[in-house]
Amino acid sequence: MRECISLHVGQAGAQIGNACWELYCLEHGIQPDGRLTKEKSSQEADNSFSTFFRETHNGKYVPRGIYADLESTVIDEVRNGSYAKLFHPEQLISGKEDAANNYARGHYTIGKELIDLVLERTRKLSEQCTSLQGFLIFHSFGGGTGSGFTSLLMERLSVEYGKKSKLEFAIYPAPRVSTSVVEPYNSILTTHATLEHSDCAFMVDNEAIYDICNNNLLIERPSYTNLNRLIGQVVSSITASLRFDGALNIDLTEFQTNLVPYPRIHFH
């Protein structure tokens, strides 16, 4: 089996993760407690989704994913939310103080304290895989954790996992929809730091997502939940070929072959 490990970093990464795993569960007939629905368990065995879910000894399915944030608010919502039983507690990692929209704090000071724990938990997940094919990394370019900690994490993953593929799903800051004045700086710093470590990056522009919600879906005042669920649909469509049987883009390396003309021009 060619497994993928999802890493959700910072507030944006975690909230997109919530939308994605909720959708994956609905698509694969997995309940919020990790058990299969009656209809799904009565069907003949189809284990194509085990690229994203691991089956435990007692028949539950656990996502092959990790949530990491330098402060605990967003991850506490996952711990106490409706999908709390889906994740193993070790997969939800949070620190004590956030990066305060500061790349340097996420990469050099606060991030340094958490990186070894995240890599240790990632190692445990990778050891449960028969043939790990790579990582899907969800983060924002504008936040301190999403930019600083992600670039540190990707550097370390390159060292420890060598040629394993790394796909990014990144929220790029938009000038009209800005939460912080330093977003452009964080974006430049993380783009520079991750350029050599990312194999393929799918960029999502908040402003464009807002426009789709307004114009196409006729949502007057879109909330972050609306945005994240729309992004979840996109991620689900991109990863469908990894989770279901098919002929195209079965492998993460195939995404590179089909989408990336030159290694450094890997943004979509």
State which residues form the domain around 146. Answer: 2-259
Contact call for residues 180 and 106 (beta carbons, < 8 A): no
Record the pTM.
Answer: 0.93
Stretch 33-48: mean pLDDT: 73
Q: Is residue 186 part of a domain?
A: yes
**Which residue shows structure tokens 């304290």?**
113
- 72 is a domain residue: yes
Q: What is the average pLDDT value for the chain, to the nearest integer?
A: 89
Residue 31 is assigned to a structural domain of this protein: yes
For residue 68, which phi and psi values (nearest 5 degrees)? -135, 130
What confidence category does residue 121 fall into, taking pLDDT thresholds of 50, 70 and 90?
very high
User: What integer pLDDT is reported at residue 42 of this predicted model?
Assistant: 62
Residue 142, class by beta-carbon neighbours within 10 Å (0-12 exposed, 13-18 middle, 19+ buried)? buried
User: Residue 146 domain-assigned?
Assistant: yes
Does the annotation count 127 as an active-site position? no
Catalytic pick from 39, 113, 196, 254? 254
CB 61 within 8 A of CB 36: yes
Q: What is the mean pLDDT of residues 107-124?
A: 93
125 CB-near residues (< 8 Å, 6+ apart): 5, 64, 66, 91
Count of domains in the chain?
1
| Residue 219 falls inside a structural domain | yes
Residue 244 has pLDDT above 90, yes or no: no
Higher pLDDT: 31 or 49? It is 31
Q: Which residues pair with 169 in a beta bridge?
A: 138, 202
Reduce the DSSP state of residue 74 to 3 states and report it. Answer: helix
- Written as six digits, the tokens of 96 are 């004590």
Q: Is residue 165 part of a domain?
A: yes
pLDDT confidence of residue 40 = 67
Q: Domain with 204 in it: what CATH number?
A: 3.40.50.1440
Across the range 218-235, mean pLDDT stands at 89
- If you count them, how many residues does the chain have? 268
Residue 268 belongs to a domain: no
pLDDT of residue 44: 59
Q: Per the domain annotation, does 264 fall within a domain?
A: no
The DSSP H or E segment spanning 127 is helix 110-127
What pLDDT does 191 receive? Answer: 92
Is 90 exceeded by the pLDDT of residue 108? yes
Q: Which of 53, 51, 95 is nearest to 74 (CA)?
A: 95
94 vs 77: CA distance, rounded Å: 12
Q: What is the 8-class DSSP label of residue 62?
A: E
- Cα distance from N-terminal residue to C-terminal residue, the chain: 27
